[in-house]
Amino acid sequence: MNRLLGDERDQKLTIAGEVLGRQELMARAAGVAGRISGAGCVAVNATASADTVVAVVGALLAGVPVVPLPPDSGIGERRHILGDSGAELLLGTDDLGLPAVPVTGTGDGSFTEPPAGATGLILYTSGTTGPPKGVLISRGAIAAGLDALAEAWAWTPEDRVVHGLPLFHVHGLVLGVLGALRAGSELVHTGRPTPEAYAAARGSLYFGVPTVWSRLASSAVAGELRGARLLVSGSAPLPAPVFAELEARTGHRPVERYGMTETLITISARHDGERLPACVGLPLRGVETRLVHEDGSPAPRDGETPGELVVRAPMIFNGYLNRPEATAEALRDGWFHTGDIATVDAGGRHRIVGRASTDLIKSGGYKIGAGEVENALLAHPAVREAAVLGTPHPDLGEQVTAFVIADGVSAADLISHVGTTLSAHKRPRTVHFVDALPRNALGKVQKKLLRS
């Protein structure tokens, strides 16, 4: 038994239509492990396939750090990731300039469990300020994070987990695959996260990003999810109107949670707790949080004042590969500085209002969270999507600028609408009507592109 992957159980995994029993998975993974034993690092072209799951589990069995490669990445990004990580072998058959290790066949070798501090995964961030950085995720961090989520969500072997998320991110790979293996629950990966595929899977525990939930909430099959236990949303903020429509159509108030590649999941609504729109809930077991101003002084937990969220937890990463300066900047005295701006109320409920670099707007001496203004805009019935950022202003320093997808409404109407729910200084001064917002694979708006 490999403790990271949970106890041996009679468990079924369906990945994009291919069915694997747990025994078959572990036998195939053991074959991979035997072929890569002793390697320093391996990579896998992380398609939504059973081969990817076999490859990752095989590397974990062998105690070899594994780098999941986004299958849609460009050749320049792939070369950077492979070179930076030092991957020696490629699990699978794609020709990326490395010796290929087949993931077919089986093995029956026994493997010694590495220590909890050993690196299990090297996940590459999106690289908003430069080339992607390799995030070293230890085996102990993975185990601690998944066990804390199992407690918060009452996740048991009786669950059937359903999702169709990419297998090179925390959400799809760590939660959606390793979480199911550790909990012993059945897994259905739908290949693509379509409403029809989610409805047909008949799951109890569903994972999705806001784009997935938005499409499902407006689909004819939304009611098919009434039999589920929990609908979990993450990787980007869930718009309040989507939250409301999901509740109306499925009977479920979705669980929102917060995390990063560097921290895994640290904050979440609970299965037996309140679930509020735009609220990611309470810290998980073992997680401590602080809210700080730019000068490092504590920000009040009044539910209104924004500050940078810093966290300390057993699921935090071991550092950035080959980047000691970046590690030292992000990890200070055991606390990870997320770069995300949040508010926390007296009851400990956390709301994420955006990134410090793009979503904290400093206008006329006020600090304004972009997410709060976005939610106010989305509450207007004519607005389908909205993104808010600060743009230069000669008098205020920055002004609140909105980009919206809407029909039959004027900029003046939207500015007035925001003013009915938020303070006057939070109203947009400029509203741009656009046909689409640039988003990445997880549905996050790429505000840097809007700014340019």
Q: Is the pLDDT score of 73 beyond 80?
A: no
Q: Are 351 and 279 in contact (CB under 8 A)?
A: yes
Domains of the chain: 360-451 (3.30.300.30)
Provide DSSP, 350-373. EEEEEETTTTEEEETTEEEEHHHH
What pLDDT sits at residue 448?
81
Q: How confident is the model over 258-282, as a mean pLDDT? A: 96
Q: What is the DSSP letter of 107?
A: -
Place of tokens 């999507």: 385
What pLDDT sits at residue 442?
65
Q: What is the mean pLDDT of the chain?
A: 91
Alpha-carbon torsion 371, 376, 446, 146, what sign? positive
Q: Cβ-count burial of 67 within 10 angstroms (0-12 exposed, 13-18 middle, 19+ buried)? A: buried
Q: Which of 76-85, 124-133, 168-177, 340-349 has the lowest mean pLDDT?
A: 124-133
- Alpha-carbon distance 436 to 178, whole Å? 34
What pLDDT sits at residue 380?
93
CB-based contacts of 312: which residues, under 8 Å, 6+ apart? 287, 288, 289, 334, 335, 336
What pLDDT sits at residue 372?
79
% of the chain beyond a pLDDT of 70: 97
pLDDT digits (tens, 9 = 90+) for 404-417: 999 999 999 999 99
Residue 207 CA: distances (Å) to CA of 170, 229, 232, 252, 379: 12, 11, 5, 13, 24
What angle separates helix 370-378 from helix 411-421, to the nearest 10 degrees?
A: 110
Residue 82 CA: distances (Å) to CA of 56, 63, 76, 77: 16, 19, 10, 9
What pLDDT sits at residue 184?
95
- Alpha-carbon distance 66 to 120, whole Å? 7
What angle separates helix 50-62 from helix 22-36, to the nearest 10 degrees?
A: 60
What pLDDT sits at residue 22?
94
Place of tokens 């810093």: 310
Instruction: Pick the closest to residue 41 from 70, 65, 69, 68 (CA basis).
Output: 65
Helix and strand numbers (H, E) in the chain are 12, 25
- Alpha-carbon distance 127 to 81, whole Å? 11
Q: How confident is the model over 248-257, as a mean pLDDT? A: 97
Q: Is the pLDDT score of 444 beyond 80?
A: no
Sequence letter at residue 158:
E
Cα angle 191, 437, 449; round to 5: 110
Instruction: Pick the closest to residue 309 from 291, 283, 328 (CA basis).
Output: 291
- Alpha-carbon distance 230 to 253, whole Å? 8
